[in-house]
Amino acid sequence: MKISIENETKLIEEILEAYGVVHKEASIVADVITDGDLKGFSTHGLGRFPQYIKSIEAGTIKIEGDYEIEKESASSAMINGNHKFGHYVTVKAMDLAVKKASETGIGIVGIHDSNHYGIAGYYSDLASLQDMIGIVISNTEPAMAPFGGKKALLGTNPITISIPTDDIHNYICVDMATSITARGKLLEAKRKNEEIPEGLALDKDGNPTTDPQAGLEGSILPFGGFKGYALAFMFELLAGPLVSAACGDKVEGTATPDVMCTKGDLLIVIDPEHFAGSMQFKFYVDQFVREIREENGVIPGDREIAMINEHHANGIPVDEALYEQLTEIANKKELDITAYFEE
Ligand SMILES: NC(=O)c1ccc[n+]([C@@H]2O[C@H](COP(=O)([O-])OP(=O)(O)OC[C@H]3O[C@@H](n4cnc5c(N)ncnc54)[C@H](O)[C@@H]3O)[C@@H](O)[C@H]2O)c1
C-alpha cells in the first residue's frame, strides 16, 4: 500500500483539524511530516503521526494557546513553546533566528517546553533556502548509555546543518542522530514485527540485541564510538540547561506521548553576507561540491535528493500496521480515509 505526497499532506491536515488543531498549525505539521517521508526518513514521517494524536488526547500537545518569546536581544531569543506542536514552535523559532541573522549576522534561539518536531533537517533547510546557514541541535528522552555504562542517560540528540548553494542540482544538508540510528528505526521495526540489524542496540543488561523492544528498554549505541557519545553529551547541555530545558534522565515526553515534554532545542542561523559575503561563500561551496563530485564523492544531502525523486515518482510506502493505526485514529472522528491510499 502507498500514499502520494499530496494525499499524505491532505490526510494529516484533515485528521489534525478533526482533532481541533487550527489550520495554520496543522499545515506546518503536515509539511514537516511529508518532508520526512519524502527525504526517506520514514521513521519521522507518517509513522510518527499516531504518537502526536496520542499526545493531543493526553493533553501533552496543547491545541489551545500559543508559544511565547520570553527573552530577546538583537541576535538571540528564548522561546517557551507552551507545549504546542514542536513542528509549529520550531518553524516560528527558525523564522525569528533567520530574521535576527539577517540583521546582525547571527541568530540564536533556544526553545523549551516544546514537543517532538520530526526531522531536524526541515528547520535548518528553512535557513539555507534563504541563503543562510542553518544549524539545529536538540536533546531527547534517554536512549543512549554513557560511554562505558549500561543505563540510557543521553538522548539520540540530533544535529542538522544546511548550507546554501547557487547550483539548483545541489542540496547540502546533514541531518543525523548522534546515536548510530534514530530511536524511530527501533519503533518502526517493532511496528513491523521485524528484527533490527546487529550492532545498533544493547539490552538493559548491556548485551548486544537484535530485538527492537529489548533495545528500546536498553540503549542504542552512539555513532562513531566515543566521538558520537561526546557530541551527544555536549548537545545534552547545549539543548538542555542552556535553554531552560531538562537534560539526561530528566528529559521526558519525546517518545512517551502521555508525559509532558521537557526536551530543548538550540537553533543557530548564520548569514554569510555578514562574513565572507553570500555570493563569495556560495561560489566556494559550489566549487567544493564540484571537486568532491569529480572524485566520485557523495555530498551530504545526495541521499535525500535520490529519495525525494523516488517518492515523488512512486509515492510513500505504508505498511499494514501503520494503515490500521491511522484508520483507528480516523474512525474516532468518523473520517473515511480509504480514498487517500492506493495499492
Ligand atoms: N525529533 C527528534 O527528537 C529526533 C531525534 C533523533 C533523530 N531525529 C531525526 O531522525 C532522522 C534520522 O536520523 P539518523 O541518524 O537515523 O539518519 P541516517 O543515519 O539514516 O542518516 C544520517 C545522515 O547521513 C546521510 N547519509 C547516511 N548514509 C548515507 C549514504 N550512504 N550516502 C549519503 N548520505 C548518507 C543521510 O542522508 C542523513 O543526512 C533525522 O531526520 C533526524 O533529524 C529526530
Q: How far is CA 320 from CA 81, 139, 307, 340, in A?
A: 34, 31, 22, 14
Strand order in the sheet with 2-3: 316-317, 2-3, 341-342
For ligand 1, pick from 161, 163, 175, 220 the residue to mutate: most ligand atoms within 8 Å of CB. Answer: 175
Fold of 180-219: Wheat Germ Agglutinin (Isolectin 2); domain 1 (3.30.60)
Can you give the pLDDT at residue 13?
Answer: 98
Can you give the pLDDT at residue 176?
Answer: 97
58-109 per-position pLDDT tens digit: 999 999 999 999 999 999 999 999 999 999 999 999 999 999 999 999 999 9
Q: Verify whether ligand 1 is closer than 6 Å to residue 140 (CB atom).
A: yes
Kindly report the protein residue whose alpha carbon is nearest to atom 44 of ligand 1: 119
pTM here is: 0.96
DSSP 96-127: HHHHHHHHHSEEEEEEES----S-THHHHHHH
The 3-class secondary structure across 39-84, one letter per residue, is CCCHHHCHHHHHHHHHHHHHCCCCCCCCCEEEEECCCEEEEECCCC
- Are 133 and 92 spatial neighbours (Cβ–Cβ below 8 Å)? no
- The residue among 238, 30, 224 whose CA lies nearest residue 118 is 30
Looking at the structure, give the CATH architecture of the domain made up of residues 66-179+222-299: 2-Layer Sandwich (3.30)
Q: Verify whether ligand 1 is closer than 6 Å to residue 47 (CB atom).
A: no
**β pairing state of 106-112 and 76-80:** parallel
Looking at the structure, give the CATH architecture of the domain made up of residues 1-57+305-342: Orthogonal Bundle (1.10)
C-alpha cell at 131: 541563503
Q: Verify whether ligand 1 is closer than 6 Å to residue 255 (CB atom).
A: no
Q: Which atom from ligand 1 is nearest to the alpha carbon of 179? A: 15
Instruction: Look up cell 538522548; give the residue.
Output: 155
Q: Which atom from ligand 1 is nearest to the alpha carbon of 156? A: 6
Helix (H, G, I), strand (E, B) or coil at 88: helix
- The residue among 196, 224, 223 whose CA lies nearest residue 209 is 196
**Domain definitions of the chain by residue range:** 1-57+305-342, 66-179+222-299, 180-219
How far does residue 175's CA lie from ligand 1's centre (Å)?
A: 5
Q: Which contiguous run of DSSP H or E holds residue 263? A: none
How far does residue 207's CA lie from ligand 1's centre (Å)?
A: 25
- Give me the tens of pLDDT residue by residue for the chain, a chain 343 residues long: 999 999 999 999 999 999 999 999 999 999 999 999 999 999 999 999 999 999 999 999 999 999 999 999 999 999 999 999 999 999 999 999 999 999 999 999 999 999 999 999 999 999 999 999 999 999 999 999 999 888 999 999 999 999 999 999 999 999 999 999 989 899 999 999 999 999 999 999 999 999 999 999 999 999 999 999 999 999 999 999 999 999 999 999 999 999 999 999 999 999 999 999 999 999 999 999 999 999 999 999 999 999 999 999 999 999 999 999 999 999 999 999 999 999 8
CA 244, chain centre distance (Å): 20
